[in-house]
């Protein structure tokens, strides 16, 4: 039987409670809770041994019992993957055990700030649950703190005094260990918040893209066209570069739908939109204007260059292939150039008039209108 290498177990340990269907956020929380619980339970065994060695049997038994219960809770979580119960049981242990240990040692003076470990209960609630739960755990922590202060003298009376040197050692160990674990938790907390923020930004970007994209053809929609054209017209008015506009319409599109069906019509629209997009530069822009009409914005492009591009697209459109061998597609084009100070409506109206000329003269042609 092959044994699992220690380093492999060390890497797998935080993920042993993770289920395949868990989200990335839940996987991170499960891993961090496992790391935190293990990071407290494992040193607690040595704390117990130290206390026993130095003549504090009852105080030594408390962290040892905590380690046994905590590791049992971790293993139970690995088996059941019941994360809510695991969190609650670990938080309850982390909250109560440090105060029990402090009381057994004689209160605040002999406790060597061991109760600092109890702070991890509200911190864990803040990280793994929410602010409301963290507030409840913090109130419980403060209640135990007040109780400890009220009965501090009683605890000190019934406890064996701890030598100053030993007390200092425990103080440094508790303070140092606590702050190290707090730093680890804060690191993962910040990492979790950054991950959530990144996902939110990605979701907002995706939603914005959906709002500005035509779902069928995957090119820009009318809303996106309106915004982009206003921007290009403002740029032209400010800096003066030429802006050419092409309005194109698939010829006899209704006949295609009637003859081959709307599914074939959708395929033609998607193929034609992809063809337009593939024919443009990165600085150019194409949008579905409505139905089978598309608009292309060509910044820094003269009317002669726009005409040459339209002729090239017109010619290659007839080469598009579909499932129906006899299906051939042509398109008519209307071209104009925006003049400084013109509105979007004025420019598109002139491009539409130019395209109407192409339709009137037999379709499958390019027309230019400047006035």
- DSSP assignment of 296-355 equals EEEET--HHHHHHHHHHHHHHHTT---SSTT----EEEEEEEPPTT--HHHHHHHHHHHH
Q: Which CATH superfamily is domain 222-368 in?
A: Reverse transcriptase/Diguanylate cyclase domain (3.30.70.270)
Residues 99, 365: Cα–Cα separation, whole Å = 87
pLDDT at 120 > cutoff 70 = yes
- As beta bridge partners, residue 247 has 295, 334
Asked if 305 contacts 244 with a C-beta cutoff of 8 angstroms, the reply is yes
pLDDT score, position 6? 53
| pLDDT, the chain, mean | 88
What is the residue whose two structure tokens read 């400084």?
Answer: 340
pLDDT score, position 202? 76
pLDDT at 2 > cutoff 70 = no
The residues, ordered by sequence, that sit 6+ positions from 271 with a Cβ below 8 Å of its Cβ are 320, 322, 329
What do you get for the CA distance between the two ends of the chain, in Å? 87
**Residue 285 φ then ψ, to 5°:** -145, 135
Residues 291, 214: Cα–Cα separation, whole Å = 11
In this predicted structure, which of 58-62, 203-207, 354-358 has the lowest mean pLDDT?
A: 203-207
Confidence of residue 5 (pLDDT cuts 50, 70, 90): low
- Region label for 298, one of left (φ > 0), alpha (ψ between -120 and 50) or beta (otherwise): beta
pLDDT score, position 173? 80
The predicted-structure confidence for 22-46, as pLDDT tens digits, reads as follows 887 788 888 888 888 888 888 889 8
pLDDT at 101 > cutoff 50 = yes
Confidence of residue 311 (pLDDT cuts 50, 70, 90): very high
Domain coordinates of the chain in residue numbers? 6-204, 222-368
pLDDT at 200 > cutoff 80 = no
231 sits in which H/E element: helix 222-239
Supply 22's token pair.
Answer: 């868990």
pLDDT score, position 8? 63
Asked if 181 contacts 40 with a C-beta cutoff of 8 angstroms, the reply is yes
Strand ranges in the chain using DSSP code E only, listed in sequence order: 243-250, 285-290, 293-299, 331-337, 366-368
pLDDT at 337 > cutoff 90 = yes
Asked if 300 contacts 327 with a C-beta cutoff of 8 angstroms, the reply is no
The predicted-structure confidence for 234-246, as pLDDT tens digits, reads as follows 998 888 889 999 9
Nearest Cα to Cα of residue 141 among 130, 152, 151, 149: 149
Q: Per-residue pLDDT averaged across 269-291, rounded?
A: 95
Asked if 220 contacts 212 with a C-beta cutoff of 8 angstroms, the reply is yes
The predicted-structure confidence for 127-179, as pLDDT tens digits, reads as follows 888 889 999 999 999 999 999 999 988 888 877 777 778 778 878 887 887 78
Report CA-CA distances (Å) from 90 to 40, 121, 318, 353. Answer: 10, 8, 70, 74
User: Cα–Cα–Cα angle for 196, 198, 201, nearest 5°?
Assistant: 110
pLDDT score, position 9? 60
pLDDT at 370 > cutoff 80 = yes
Q: pTM higher than 0.85 for the full model?
A: no
pLDDT score, position 1? 44
The predicted-structure confidence for 208-225, as pLDDT tens digits, reads as follows 777 889 999 999 999 999
Q: Per-residue pLDDT averaged across 337-345, rounded?
A: 91
Residues 366, 364: Cα–Cα separation, whole Å = 7
Question: 263: burial class by Cβ within 10 Å (0-12, 13-18, 19+)?
Answer: exposed
């Amino acid at each position: 039987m092959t044994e699992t290498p220690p380093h492999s177990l060390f890497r797998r340990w935080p993920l042993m409670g993770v289920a395949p269907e868990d989200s990335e956020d839940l996987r991170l929380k499960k891993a961090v809770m496992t790391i935190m619980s293990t990071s407290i339970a494992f040193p607690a065994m040595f704390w117990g041994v130290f206390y026993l060695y130095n003549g504090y049997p009852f105080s030594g038994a408390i962290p040892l019992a905590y380690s046994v219960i905590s590791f049992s809770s971790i293993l139970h979580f690995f088996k059941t993957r019941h994360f809510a119960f695991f969190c609650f049981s670990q938080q309850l242990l982390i909250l109560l055990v440090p105060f029990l240990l402090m009381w057994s040692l004689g209160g605040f003076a002999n406790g060597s700030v061991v109760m600092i470990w109890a702070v991890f209960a509200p911190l864990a609630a803040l990280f793994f649950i929410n602010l409301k739960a963290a507030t409840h755990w913090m109130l419980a922590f403060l209640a135990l703190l007040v109780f400890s202060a009220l009965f501090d003298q009683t605890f000190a009376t019934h406890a064996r005094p701890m030598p100053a040197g030993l007390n200092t050692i425990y103080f440094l160990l508790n303070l140092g260990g606590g702050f190290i674990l707090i730093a680890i938790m804060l690191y993962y907390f910040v990492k979790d918040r950054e991950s959530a923020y990144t996902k939110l930004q990605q979701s907002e970007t995706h939603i914005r893209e959906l709002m500005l994209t035509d779902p069928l053809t995957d090119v820009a929609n009318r809303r996106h066209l309106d915004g982009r054209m206003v921007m290009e017209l403002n740029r032209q008015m400010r800096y003066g570069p030429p802006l050419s506009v092409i309005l194109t319409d698939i010829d006899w599109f209704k006949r295609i739908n009637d003859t081959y069906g709307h599914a074939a019509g959708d395929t033609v629209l998607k193929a034609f939109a992809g063809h337009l997009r593939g024919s443009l530069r990165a600085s150019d822009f194409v949008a579905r204007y409505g139905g089978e009409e598309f608009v292309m914005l060509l910044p820094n492009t003269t009317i002669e260059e726009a005409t040459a591009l339209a002729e090239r697209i017109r010619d290659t459109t007839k080469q598009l292939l579909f499932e129906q061998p006899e299906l051939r597609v042509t398109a008519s084009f209307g071209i104009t150039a925006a003049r400084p100070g013109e509105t979007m409506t004025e420019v598109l109206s002139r491009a539409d008039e130019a395209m109407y000329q192409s339709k009137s003269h037999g379709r499958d042609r390019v027309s230019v209108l400047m006035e």
